[in-house]
Chain A
Amino acid sequence: MVSDKCGTGSKVLLSVRGLKRHFPIFHGLLRQQVGSIKAVDGVSFDVYCGETLGLVGESGCGKTTIGRTILQLYPPTAGEVRFDGVNLTRLKGRNLRRMRRRMQMIFQDPYASLNPRMTVGGIVAAPLKIHGVMRGREAARRVAELLELVGLNPGFVNRYPHEFSGGQRQRIGIARALALQPDFIVCDEPIAALDVSIQAQVVNLLQELQARFTLTYLFIAHDLSMVRHISDRVAVMYLGKIVEQTEREELYEHPLHPYTQALLSAVPICDPVIERQRQRIILEGDVPSPANPPAGCNFQTRCWLAMDVCREKEPDFRDVGGEHWVACYRVG
């Protein structure tokens, strides 16, 4: 992970501060705003050049919205996103479009993320055409190169997405994301829709590409074992906020936040002997609605360690030692 691109130090490539993204809820004939869904509600973190930051959480925690807000697909409701020092929220029009060359996304659904009317060659060449960097034979050569890079037969350029399997389509999506040689890729649940044996192929590919091109990944997923495998650091989200964030092994070995503990406890381990002896934390109830988050700490409604202060005031997100950040009154 050390290379010319990132230098020898830990350079911060992406810096997110106080990011919020709320979706208004309208009601009535005149479409008045009656409330909002606080999908992302005040999130701050850094991503270092060349690393993989894993972002985990269950449905409704906001992890998908975060990926898209960072890439400015949704304008943030509040907060700031700095990429390589540049404030993305201030960029508009052509400047933003030019910046997009350096940040890309890989999507969850291999069936919806490719235009069914375009050939594979057309899909992978699209970024080159959009930015006018290559055309004609040069572009065709680059497309062939990219397809080979992701393990596909370059002869497939004239085929259509529906002729490929899920895993192959995901590779096409990866080839497209790499076309402009980005520095940063948001992987939005890239393997969730794939079979187990294909997941391994795609994850191996992502790791190889990262090593080869010094890519920085924000890996968003709900599969905790896979996140553990691929990430350097991991952040856990719950109802729009990050509740815990630290180096990978530290999180899995010493989870401090009660939600992280419950989450890890719920993940089944592929070993029946260990699995059946484990102590399990079973959470009560359901995740509260992001349109109506609880007062105080978001997790207090389901937390077995909740105290009065938890119900009144939201805990700060603090470093409790060794770059281990937690938002919980019971810790540190």
Chain B
Amino acid sequence: MSSLLAVRNLTTRFHTHEGVVHAVSGVSFDLEKGEILGIVGESGCGKSVTMLSVLRLIPDPPGKIEAGEVCFGGRDLLRLTEPEMERVRGAEIAMIFQDPMTSLNPTLPIGFQIAEALRLHLGLGKRPAADRAAELLTVVGIPKARDRLGDYPHQFSGGMRQRVMIAMALSCHPQLLIADEPTTALDVTVQAQIIDLVQRLQAQLGMTVIWITHDLGVVARLVQRVMVMYAGHVVEDAPVEGLYASPGHPYTVGLLGSLPRRTKGGRTGLTSIPGQPPGLVAPGPGCPFAPRCRLMTARCLDENPALESVAAGHQVACWERGRMEGVWDGV
């Protein structure tokens, strides 16, 4: 079983005036070739910072990847030099972001921007690069692609711009596509189009995808495996059916409970998680979720649990995971 990406104990901290922010603490996971992994969590949980750390895009200062290993294609990405890393980004691992407007240069036509990656990484000439760019735009579903090569980003709608981003990301046939909340800012019908597109492309090209989101609905639709993050830690890692059917971590249960479920008849109150997500400066030694957890014990406050297996391919980081049987009654 060869993983495409194996992350071990990744730890990233930011050194600010207010203190040291523990953005990512000891994150480990494996990614198989062709898999779609979803990373789920609320704001501040570290899901974006984890992926930016993998790609070594963390600004230093104030950020610093303090520990860990990121094995990709037989090499540890954290040990590569910057020029070697530049060859990896775009060509082997591509990333798309939430706001295409800031990822695209508003002063350059998009044909130019797509062709740029092609010229840099594949060394294509001007004409072949333009041809390939038009091809890519057609693949991602932009009508009259050739005519639109000369258009500027502001001439495209939000959904179209995201498609352009995907086209750019795919241009050099990366093995891994990381999508950081790409549909969060889009309307629901446009989101459906983009998810549909990614699913088709993934099937066609056999791409491996990491999809970061806070939307548990998108996760249910698209991904095969889910990693739930909280305050910089991975708290649960499970196949998607297993996560929704029998979530193992109290935080996951709380998240699923916060969602409005289809209740026929009366409206029941949503089960909310009391309190606020923790600050990331000077965290205590215990489980980060303990202060808000209904199952909290003394041990939870003193020791941070590691991920342990509760079922096939399903891992949970919780001392009280034995008590989680039957807690979740599903829909």
Contacts of A168 in B (CB 8 A): 276
Main secondary structure of the interface of A (DSSP, over half): helix
Q: Answer yes or no: A224 CB below 8 A from chain B CBs.
A: yes
Interface residues on B, range: 35 or more
* Cα–Cα distance between A275 and B38 once the two chains are bound (Å): 16
Please give the distance in Å from B108's CB to the nearest CB on chain A. 22
* Cα–Cα distance between A269 and B258 once the two chains are bound (Å): 14
Contacts of B214 in A (CB 8 A): 195-196
Residue of B nearest to A280 (CB): B192
Interface residues on A, range: 35 or more
Picked from A200, A222, A268, the residue with its CB within 8 Å of the CB of B221 is A268
Please give the distance in Å from A248's CB to the nearest CB on chain B. 9
Residue of A nearest to B270 (CB): A200
Q: Answer yes or no: B193 CB below 8 A from chain A CBs.
A: yes
Assess whether B188 is in contact with A286, with CB atoms less than 8 Å apart: no
Residue of B nearest to A151 (CB): B274
Assess whether A225 is in contact with B260, with CB atoms less than 8 Å apart: yes
Q: Answer yes or no: A36 CB below 8 A from chain B CBs.
A: no
Interface-centre pick from A199, A226, A268, A286 (highest chain B CB count, 10 A): A268
Please give the distance in Å from B143's CB to the nearest CB on chain A. 8
Assess whether A268 is in contact with B215, with CB atoms less than 8 Å apart: yes
**B188-217 CB contact bits vs A (8 Å, 1 = yes)?**
111111011000000000000000001111
* Chain-B contact segment, one of A7-15, A123-131, A175-183, A259-267: A259-267
* Cα–Cα distance between A268 and B258 once the two chains are bound (Å): 16
Assess whether B188 is in contact with A224, with CB atoms less than 8 Å apart: yes
* Cα–Cα distance between A301 and B260 once the two chains are bound (Å): 33
Q: Answer yes or no: B244 CB below 8 A from chain A CBs.
A: yes
Assess whether B270 is in contact with A275, with CB atoms less than 8 Å apart: no
Assess whether A267 is in contact with B217, with CB atoms less than 8 Å apart: yes
**B236-262 CB contact bits vs A (8 Å, 1 = yes)?**
000011001000000000111111111
Assess whether B188 is in contact with A266, with CB atoms less than 8 Å apart: yes
Q: Answer yes or no: B145 CB below 8 A from chain A CBs.
A: no
Please give the distance in Å from A228's CB to the nearest CB on chain B. 6
Q: Answer yes or no: A113 CB below 8 A from chain B CBs.
A: no
Contacts of B270 in A (CB 8 A): 200, 203-204, 229
Given A59-B187, A228-B260, A266-B188, A196-B216 contact (CB < 8 Å): yes
Contacts of B262 in A (CB 8 A): 228
Contacts of A31 in B (CB 8 A): none
Q: Answer yes or no: A3 CB below 8 A from chain B CBs.
A: no
Assess whether B188 is in contact with A58, with CB atoms less than 8 Å apart: yes
Contacts of A262 in B (CB 8 A): 189
**A250-286 CB contact bits vs B (8 Å, 1 = yes)?**
0000000000001101111111110110001011001
Assess whether B271 is in contact with A200, with CB atoms less than 8 Å apart: yes
Residue of B nearest to A166 (CB): B43
* Cα–Cα distance between A262 and B191 once the two chains are bound (Å): 12
Q: Answer yes or no: B218 CB below 8 A from chain A CBs.
A: yes
Q: Answer yes or no: B111 CB below 8 A from chain A CBs.
A: no
Assess whether A275 is in contact with B220, with CB atoms less than 8 Å apart: yes
Assess whether A283 is in contact with B193, with CB atoms less than 8 Å apart: yes
* Cα–Cα distance between A266 and B273 once the two chains are bound (Å): 28
* Cα–Cα distance between A124 and B262 once the two chains are bound (Å): 36
Assess whether B189 is in contact with A263, with CB atoms less than 8 Å apart: yes
Chain A-chain B contacts (Cβ-Cβ < 8 Å), number: 113
Given A197-B254, A270-B220, A271-B220, A58-B277 contact (CB < 8 Å): no
* Cα–Cα distance between A266 and B187 once the two chains are bound (Å): 10
Q: 8 Å CB contacts to B: which residues of A302-328?
A: none
Given A197-B42, A225-B260, A229-B270, A275-B221 contact (CB < 8 Å): yes
Q: Answer yes or no: B296 CB below 8 A from chain A CBs.
A: no
Please give the distance in Å from A55's CB to the nearest CB on chain B. 15
**A194-217 CB contact bits vs B (8 Å, 1 = yes)?**
011111110110010000000000
Contacts of B190 in A (CB 8 A): 58, 286
Q: Answer yes or no: A249 CB below 8 A from chain B CBs.
A: yes
Assess whether B189 is in contact with A270, with CB atoms less than 8 Å apart: no
Assess whether A196 is in contact with B42, with CB atoms less than 8 Å apart: yes
Assess whether B217 is in contact with A269, with CB atoms less than 8 Å apart: yes
Q: Answer yes or no: A122 CB below 8 A from chain B CBs.
A: no
Interface-centre pick from B189, B192, B244, B261 (highest chain A CB count, 10 A): B189
Interface-centre pick from A196, A263, A287 (highest chain B CB count, 10 A): A196
Given A195-B42, A228-B260, A273-B241 contact (CB < 8 Å): yes
* Cα–Cα distance between A187 and B132 once the two chains are bound (Å): 48
Given A268-B218, A270-B216, A273-B241, A283-B258 contact (CB < 8 Å): no
Contacts of B159 in A (CB 8 A): 286
Contacts of B216 in A (CB 8 A): 196, 270
* Cα–Cα distance between A200 and B260 once the two chains are bound (Å): 8
Q: Answer yes or no: A167 CB below 8 A from chain B CBs.
A: yes
Assess whether A197 is in contact with B255, with CB atoms less than 8 Å apart: yes
Please give the distance in Å from B239's CB to the nearest CB on chain A. 9
30 contacts between A and B (CB under 8 A): A58-B188, A58-B189, A165-B276, A167-B276, A195-B43, A196-B216, A196-B259, A197-B42, A197-B254, A197-B255, A197-B273, A198-B276, A200-B257, A200-B272, A207-B267, A222-B187, A226-B260, A229-B270, A249-B264, A263-B188, A268-B220, A269-B217, A270-B244, A270-B261, A271-B220, A272-B241, A275-B221, A283-B189, A283-B193, A286-B157
Which chain A residues have a beta carbon within 8 Å of chain B's beta carbons? 58-59, 165, 167-168, 195-201, 203-204, 207, 222, 224-226, 228-230, 249, 262-263, 265-273, 275-276, 280, 282-283, 286-287
3 nearest CB pairs, A to B: A268-B217, A229-B260, A200-B258
Further contacts, 15 of them, CB under 8 A, given A201-B272, A287-B157: A58-B188, A167-B276, A196-B42, A196-B255, A196-B259, A197-B255, A197-B258, A198-B276, A200-B259, A222-B188, A265-B192, A266-B191, A273-B244, A282-B193, A283-B193
